[in-house]
């Protein structure tokens, strides 16, 4: 029976720990972007392109992993 904790990390050529660290880093970045987008919603003259630019960068980073 495959280990449910390692099946997905192994499918992207990572150990459980490597995947955990990467996923936590992505979570932190997404949380920061949430805060920036929230501020932008209230003060639209701030952070005009920050979130969209960072999301594109993150998507490119994810695409390089596969």
Residue 65: predicted pLDDT: 79
Helix (H, G, I), strand (E, B) or coil at 13: coil
Kindly report, residue by residue over 3-55, the tens digit of the pLDDT: 889 999 998 899 999 999 999 999 999 999 999 999 999 999 999 999 999 99
Q: Is the pLDDT of residue 60 over 80?
A: yes
Residue with the two structure tokens 């969209």: 52
pTM over 0.85: no
Which of these, 39, 38, 36, lies nearest to 54 by C-alpha position? 36
């Amino acid at each position: 029976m495959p280990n449910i904790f390692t099946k997905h990390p192994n499918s992207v050529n990572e150990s459980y720990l490597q995947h955990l660290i990467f996923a936590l880093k992505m979570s932190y970045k997404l949380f920061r972007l949430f805060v920036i987008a929230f501020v932008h919603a209230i003060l639209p003259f701030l952070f005009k392109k920050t979130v969209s630019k960072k999301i594109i960068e993150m998507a490119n980073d994810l695409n390089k992993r596969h």
